[in-house]
């Protein structure tokens, strides 16, 4: 299947760039590894938490806790905060808002990531970046990417440091009016957030993989549901290509057209019929009182 538009969350924006034709696969994999190493090299003393409240309430709570920043605008009532561990835990404790601490190794998308920006900009500058061949929504600006934004190494550096504007990008993506939206990953994480950011006509939400389902069963079931809703042309041969499988003819069912009951036979004072079961090919007698 070929997407009509793509969007990626944080690191996932690099993958979306590959899907949009901006990056070659080898460059995607190398930049993913570089980005991970650079971000993990931070001070390692930060924390992150999810706050279940609207943006205005989160920003108001942050004023009493210097150092706390917004890491991601995920949905209308869901934001991720980041910063020094004591400041983040203090906001969670004192704000009165519903919060959940995250298990992380760094305060991503915060001032702690400043040291990763310039080296990553240099790494991106060594790659060939092409204009998107399909619409590609930015989670740094929340608007559509252009040939200029994707080719700017500085943009990809900003994506490490600045907040992820996922909810704004989803609003932009909704302009395409898709009938089906896929979440590509090891388990659905973004779908619930995307639902709350969508407009009045929600699409069908599908996932490539789920933790509690066999990979092939999940993927093939989702492909079938995609087809049932869109009737789009699918490359069925491509689904099985290079998997070393062979086709075989399924035998038809050998219909046995025997009658299930023979005419009753009169006997003294009783009626007896001989019945034949087509699966076991055995006969047995059934008796009933005669008149």
pTM recorded for the entire structure: 0.80
Q: What is the DSSP letter of 108?
A: T
Q: What is the DSSP letter of 69?
A: E
pLDDT tens per residue across span 71-123: 999 999 999 999 999 999 999 999 999 999 999 999 999 999 999 999 999 99
- Average of per-residue pLDDT values in the chain: 88
- CA torsion sign for 134, 76, 179, 218 is positive
Of the two residues 53 and 240, the one the predictor is more confident about is 53
pLDDT score recorded for residue 237: 81
pLDDT score recorded for residue 225: 94
Taking residues 260-274, report their average pLDDT: 57
Structure tokens at 10: 């944080």
In this predicted structure, the answer to whether residue 288 has a pLDDT above a threshold of 50 is no
Rounded Cα distance, 142 and 63, in Å: 24
* H or E segment to which residue 79 belongs: strand 78-84
In this predicted structure, the answer to whether residue 177 has a pLDDT above a threshold of 50 is yes
pLDDT tens per residue across span 195-229: 888 877 889 999 999 999 999 999 999 999 999 99
In this predicted structure, the answer to whether residue 278 has a pLDDT above a threshold of 80 is no
């Amino acid at each position: 299947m070929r997407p009509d538009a793509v969007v990626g969350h944080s690191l996932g924006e690099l993958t979306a760039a590959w899907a949009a034709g901006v990056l070659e696969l080898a460059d995607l994999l190398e930049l993913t590894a570089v980005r991970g190493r650079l971000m993990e090299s931070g001070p390692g003393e930060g924390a992150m938490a999810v706050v279940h409240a609207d943006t205005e309430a989160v920003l108001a709570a942050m004023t009493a806790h210097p150092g706390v920043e917004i890491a991601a605008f995920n949905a209308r009532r869901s934001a991720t905060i980041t910063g020094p561990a004591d400041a983040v835990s203090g906001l969670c404790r004192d704000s009165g808002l519903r919060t959940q601490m995250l298990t992380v190794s760094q305060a991503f998308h915060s001032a702690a990531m400043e040291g990763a920006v310039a080296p990553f900009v240099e790494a991106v500058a060594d790659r060939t970046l092409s204009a998107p061949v399909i619409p590609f929504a930015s989670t740094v600006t929340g608007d559509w990417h252009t040939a200029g934004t994707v080719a700017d190494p500085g943009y990809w550096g900003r994506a490490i440091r600045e907040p992820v504007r996922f909810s704004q990008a989803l609003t932009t993506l909704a302009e395409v009016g898709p009938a089906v939206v896929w979440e590509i990953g090891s388990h659905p994480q973004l779908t619930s957030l995307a639902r709350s950011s969508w407009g009045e006509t929600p699409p069908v939400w599908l996932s490539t993989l789920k933790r509690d389902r066999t990979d092939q069963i999940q993927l093939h079931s989702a492909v079938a549901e995609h087809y049932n809703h869109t009737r789009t042309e699918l490359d069925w041969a491509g689904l099985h290509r290079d998997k070393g499988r062979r086709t075989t003819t399924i035998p038809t069912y050998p219909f046995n057209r025997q009658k299930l009951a023979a005419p009753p036979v009169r006997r003294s004072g009783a009626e007896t019929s001989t019945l034949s079961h087509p699966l076991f090919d055995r006969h047995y007698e059934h008796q009933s009182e005669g008149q």
